[in-house]
Amino acid sequence: MNLRLELTRFLNLCFALASAFMFWKGLSIVTNSHSPIVVVLSGSMEPAFQRGDILFLWNRNELNKVGDVVVYEVDNKEIPIVHRVLREHVDETSGKQLLLTKGDNNAGNDIPLYAKRKIYLHKEKDIVGTVKGYIPQLGYITIWISENKYAKMGLMGLIALSALLSNE
């Protein structure tokens, strides 16, 4: 019966998608960051980072230093922001670190960007990760894919096709 043959072929397709996703999940557990690789979307950190740079994050450090480039998310906004730590202080009672950030290319600090009435970020809660490395420009591919739904579908189709057609 050929059901087993079809199931085996379909399994190869599943493996292609599963391995990519599980690698991503594994990486996010190791780095303790929900998105360990991000792409710079704005020019607010020029000339350090340009739009399209890929950043690698690490979130297992307990405290950040002034000058660290961190990625944070504001409550209810899904877009990660890459900016530099301008000031930090540790709350004596709770022992938790509070950070103020600013984009290198921006005139002022980030308080207007934070959620309502917040004048600082919580290191523990708001920070996605600290930038530890980057690849210039390569992220333009992902910007192109995420801003263009046809490119997205095309890429998914390509992965699926290559899994179906390769029988090595």
Interface ranges with other proteins (CB under 8 A): 4-5, 7-8, 11, 14-15, 17-18, 21-22, 25-26, 28-29, 34, 166-168
CA angle 112/118/122 to nearest 5° reads 115
- Please report how close the Cβ of residue 6 comes to other proteins at its closest, in angstroms: 11
Judge whether 34 counts as a catalytic residue.
Answer: no
Judge whether 110 counts as a catalytic residue.
Answer: yes
Dihedral sign, CA of 90, 92, 96, 100? Answer: negative
- Please report how close the Cβ of residue 46 comes to other proteins at its closest, in angstroms: 29
Nearer of residues 29 and 119 to other proteins, judged by Cβ: 29
Burial 43-63 (b: 16+ CB within 10 A, else e): ebbeebbbbbbbbbbebeeee
Of the candidates 33, 53, 83, 126, the residue annotated as catalytic is 83
Nearer of residues 26 and 136 to other proteins, judged by Cβ: 26
Extended strands (E) in 76-139: 81-90, 97-102, 121-122, 127-135
Judge whether 44 counts as a catalytic residue.
Answer: yes
